[in-house]
Amino acid sequence: MKKLYMVGLVLILIFAGAIIAYGAWLNKSGEHQITERMENRTIPLHGAKVKMRDMHPKLFLETVNLYSEDIVDAVALIDGRIENIFVSKNSKVRRGEVIFTLVNEEIALKIQQADSSIAKAEAQLANAKNNYARYKRLRERDATSIEKFDEAEANYFASEAALKEAQTVKEQLLVQSARQDVTAPIDGEILILYRQLGSYVQAGTPLALVGDFSVLFFSMAVDDRHAQRFSLGDKAHLTFTNSQIMRKAYDTEYAAGNRGESEVFDVTVKEIMPNLNEPASLRKVVLEIDNRVGLLEQQAYSGAVLTSDESRKLLTVPLAAMIDSSRNEVFVVTAENTLERRAVKTGADDGSFVEIIWGLREGETVVTSAAEGLKDGMKVEVTFTGGDGR
């Protein structure tokens, strides 16, 4: 009985060992099959050819700070009380046009005093002139002393000087009187009125802000590699990606013909500093905006897009081929239909395609599908979309 029990136990152990060994063999065989299937699996992806395309490069600007070269305060040049205001906010003015008048009673009184001084000086000069002429005749006949002649001559010259001084004082007072008229310093629009009718102001006090926003400017720092593509007089178009252009800081008026948020502004390159023929790593590019439609003002705007007016033929790939936001790597499909992760250097883009400066050759294929989970060496089958396989 005991012998049978031992035989049964041995058979059970042998059977259990066989099951374990068979399970291990199946597991190993399955893993090998899975590995072999994974290695032989072909992943379907979308792709595009690297090729030369006509592109209008775009520059996406997070913020642009617009400024005007024609925005100036109209300033009181004398002390006085505001007697008249001839303009209102948004009034159009011409340079030299009177926009305020001030009253300074002291000036009028001083002019009257100057007139009295001039009249007195003129009388004294007439008397001195007659006396000088009389002594001159007497001296010619040797009928008076040299001392009296010299005294008469000195009185005559002193009276002349006194009259000129009195006239100069009046001229200065007339200049001050004219300054009671405050004029527009430039052609433009009244943006702000700082003072009200009847206010007393001192010389140097700003009374109104006058500006002309029909031409605006902004500047940007550009590395030399990109700056070399600019030339003075180059044309571009400026658009905005939000409705912020409808917000006004100075409440200036809109001109006829504007298209609101869909307006496209003409831009011209006005200055590049330092000059392109001078060595520099960074350059400042100044651009002029045609704002005759009156939509923009001197302030900061976000979401600006600058599009070159000139088309350029560049080696490009779709922006979707870039693996990350740094735009310095792509997946290339090799001749064996495997993936190769490759570093590239990119340049301008137009929102759909990006320029390739180095790292790719025309005719190569790049992956435009999402790069998540892709690795070097994976086998792929690429489908071209939008005619990018030609």
CATH architecture of 43-55+313-384: Beta Barrel (2.40)
Q: What pLDDT was estimated at residue 25?
A: 59
Angle (deg, nearest 10), helices 146-178 and 105-140: 160
Tell me the C-alpha distance between 351 and 53, whole Å: 13
pLDDT tens for the chain, 390 residues: list them: 556 656 565 666 676 666 676 666 556 655 554 444 445 578 899 999 999 999 888 888 999 999 999 999 999 999 999 999 999 999 999 999 999 999 998 998 999 999 999 999 999 999 999 998 998 888 888 888 889 888 989 999 999 999 999 999 999 989 889 999 999 999 999 999 999 999 999 999 999 999 999 999 999 998 888 888 889 999 999 999 887 777 888 999 999 999 988 999 999 999 999 999 999 999 999 999 999 999 999 999 999 999 998 888 999 999 999 998 888 999 999 999 999 999 999 988 888 899 999 999 999 999 998 888 888 999 989 998 766 655
Task: Identify whether the C-beta of residue 81 lies closer than 8 Å to the C-beta of residue 200.
Answer: yes
Residue-level pLDDT at 1: 55
Q: What is the pLDDT of residue 10?
A: 60
Classify each residue of 292-304 as buried b or exposed e, where b means 16 or more C-beta atoms within 10 Å of its C-beta. ebbbbbbeebebb
Q: Which CATH code fits 59-70+213-311?
A: 2.40.30.170
Distance in angstroms (rounded) separating the CA atoms of residues 10 and 282: 86
Q: Which two tokens stand for residue 46?
A: 């979308």
Structural domain spans, the chain = 43-55+313-384, 59-70+213-311, 108-163
Listed as own residue / partner, the contacts of 329-332 with beta carbons closer than 8 Å and 24 or more positions apart are 330/359, 330/360, 330/366, 330/367, 331/366, 331/367, 331/371, 331/374, 332/360, 332/364, 332/365, 332/366, 332/367
| pLDDT at residue 33, rounded to an integer | 47
pLDDT of residue 348: 84
Predicted pLDDT at 13: 65
What is the CATH number assigned to the segment(s) 108-163? 1.10.287
